[in-house]
Amino acid sequence: MTRADAMAAARNPLAFIAARWTPDPRTVQRAALAALVMSVVIVVTGGAVRLTGSGLGCPTWPKCTADSLTATSEMGLHGAIEFGNRMLTYVLCAAVGWAIIAARSEKPYRRGLTKLGWAQFWVVMSNAVLGGIVVLVGLNPYTVAAHFVATSALIAVATVMWQRTREGDGAPRPLVGKSVQQLVWFLVAASVLLILVGTVVTGAGPHAGDSSEVERMPLDWETVSKVHAVLAWVVVTLTFALWFVLKAVDAPKGPLSRTGELFVILLAQGVIGYVQYFTDLPEILVGLHMLGSALTWIAVLRVLLALRERPETELAGIPGPAAEATVGSRA
């Protein structure tokens, strides 16, 4: 590498890589999928931290202790679990970084796709800081709830990016009528409310995240759990209604298939939810329910994204450098 190349790489490493590498479309799709998978993994491992009582295994942040950056043998299993979850944040950052590099290097250059990658990066960074605040305030349930909501936002952006890697950049064309679109937006709104109430159930419930006395939300857990169950049934009902309407209007296969997948996930999630409720919240079932929450949210978003198609633009068939030159001349 020449000195000029080294200076160019230092000034703008992404542009330097993009000028010398054009990934296959499948590579970009896999990079986006890896970021999505890691966003779900971080939900599961974060749940494991709380359910094993390891939330304060590292009692401070950003160090694990006042004197050590990492967990020590004296801290035992709880310290190892909490520190391990912190380390997985770096794996998540690597996955998001890979998605950004792949998106930036694709030809022709897709600005919107790259922005989605950077949006994930900033959500991860802000949520890492929020995670540190959670530790510093002793697992305050409101900050724990905010931490989970931020992760759900990350999953949303990652899902959209994964979908966009498999589409063109043309203007979206609706595949269903406005009434069906409105029904799906009701479904999305109900799902968001379901997730929010789910964080309240967690905040008021017995799994505080640490073996010591930790503040809980001053709400009746039984009542909040029943509200959560009612909202779950609302989401299930809206999903079944959507499937019925899509069949009635002879909708394309995409929206119908995504709706069927969501319905199956919701049924599985409902079974886990009721079993954990009547068995006094065993940790393994609570963990599965958190995984189910992430998968449900992804499935809901996939239904929404399946309501339209985005064709390839007229530049899609032009090789990378030519496409970029054409775009530049038009700009």
36 pLDDT band, cuts 50/70/90, is very high
How far is residue 195 CA from its own chain's centroid?
13
* Average pLDDT for 98-120: 95
| Selected residue with higher pLDDT from 315 and 111 | 111
Tokens of 45: 């491992």
> Does the pLDDT of residue 304 top 90, yes or no?
yes
β-bridge mates for residue 56, sequence order: none
Q: Tally the C-alpha atoms within 13 A of residue 34's C-alpha that lie toward its C-beta.
A: 19
* Average pLDDT for 92-99: 97
> Does the pLDDT of residue 326 top 50, yes or no?
no
Total number of residues shown for the chain: 331
Please say whether the beta carbons of 28 and 103 come within 8 A.
Answer: yes
What one-letter code names the amino acid at 5?
Answer: D
321 pLDDT band, cuts 50/70/90, is very low
Residue 173 DSSP class = E
52-71 tens-digit pLDDT: 999 999 989 989 988 889 98
> Does the pLDDT of residue 34 top 50, yes or no?
yes
2 pLDDT band, cuts 50/70/90, is confident
Q: What is the pLDDT of residue 16?
A: 83
* Average pLDDT for 173-180: 94
Q: What is the pLDDT of residue 10?
A: 72
- The percentage of residues in the chain with a pLDDT greater than 70, rounded to a whole number, is 93
Please tell me the least confidently modeled range out of 39-53, 61-75, 93-107: 61-75
Q: In a 10 Å sphere around its CB, with 0-12 CB exposed, 13-18 middle and 19+ buried, how is residue 39 labelled?
A: buried
How far is residue 1 CA from its own chain's centroid?
38
> Does the pLDDT of residue 107 top 50, yes or no?
yes
Q: What is the pLDDT of residue 72?
A: 85
Q: What is the pLDDT of residue 313?
A: 62
Q: Tally the C-alpha atoms within 13 A of residue 22's C-alpha that lie toward its C-beta.
A: 9
Q: What is the pLDDT of residue 1?
A: 64
Tokens of 149: 């909501």
> Does the pLDDT of residue 325 top 90, yes or no?
no
Give me the residue spans of the domains in the chain.
12-171, 172-309
318 pLDDT band, cuts 50/70/90, is very low
**Mean pLDDT of all residues belonging to the chain:** 90
Q: What is the pLDDT of residue 229?
A: 95
Q: What is the pLDDT of residue 5?
A: 66
Sign of the dihedral defined by the CA atoms of residues 299, 303, 308, 311, in that order: positive
177-213 tens-digit pLDDT: 999 999 999 999 999 999 999 999 999 998 888 877 8
Q: Give 283's contacts (C-beta < 8 A, 6+ positions apart).
A: 51, 52, 207
